[in-house]
Amino acid sequence: MEPSSQSPVCRICRKPIEPGAVKCTACGSYQNWRRFFSFGTIALSLLVALISVSTTAIQVTKNMFAKEQSDLRFSLVKYGPDTITIMSSNLGDRAGALRSATLKITMSNEAKTYNLIWEDANLVVKPDGWRLFEMKPVIDKDIVGLQLLRYTGDNCFHSIKFNVLAFDHAPKSSTIRYKCPSS
């Protein structure tokens, strides 16, 4: 078959092919979009295997160097007449526990500190979990009503320091600070 100016030719070997042909019968090359992918089946299989192994290796390496730890955060939920309600959330991937808490009231450069107690015996906050703690101030093992501790004024601030027991690293503390509640 002699190529004419009207008959199509192969893009690779330039031999004549049938009009609308997908593959050249002379050299075996594709004439459509597949011509841009010259991977053989073995090369394609190796590429897929390499991608699979790489994604697994990346995850294993990440887990080897990632430091699992607890990350306890605290926020004031409610300041009631007798109790302070605190929410603790754990943003880490290991459990943590609340060891102790102290309330410090600062007014005009004068500060008073009170230990806080709570009745809940379970202090552990699980990973990606949260807990509420109902806390009460004590002086010499006697519970003090919060209404007796209310101060007013622009220079009055409360701060609560939380001591945390983390099962994966040294204990640490966290503090929240807020303006004295009005009566």
Domains of the chain (ranges, CATH numbers): 33-65 (no CATH), 72-179 (2.60.40.10)
Average pLDDT over residues 133-144: 81
* Cα–Cα dist 11/8, whole Å: 9
- pLDDT of 87 > 90? The answer is yes
Please report the pLDDT score of residue 152 as a whole number: 62
In the predicted model, what is the mean pLDDT of the chain? Answer: 82
- pLDDT score of 1 more than 60: no
pLDDT at 142 over 80: no
User: Is pLDDT at 130 greater than 90 in this prediction?
Assistant: yes
Check pLDDT > 70 for residue 106: yes
Of 39-48, 81-90, 149-158, the one with minimum mean pLDDT is 149-158
> Residue 147 has what pLDDT?
64
Spatial separation of the C-alpha atoms in residues 65 and 101, rounded to whole Å: 33
Reported as a single tens digit per residue, the pLDDT across 15-67 is 999 998 989 999 888 888 777 766 667 777 888 899 999 998 888 887 777 66
By three-state DSSP, how is residue 135 classified?
strand
141 or 103, higher pLDDT:
103
167 pLDDT above the threshold of 90: no
pLDDT of residue 153: 65
Helix (H, G, I), strand (E, B) or coil at 126: coil
Output the pLDDT for position 44.
77
Residue 69 pLDDT: 82
What integer is the mean pLDDT of 160-181?
A: 82
Q: Looking at beta carbons, which pairs linking 169-176 to residues 24 or more positions away fall under 8 Å?
A: 169/69, 171/99, 174/72, 174/73, 174/74, 176/74, 176/75, 176/76
Query: Are the beta carbons of 77 and 85 closer than 8 angstroms?
Result: yes
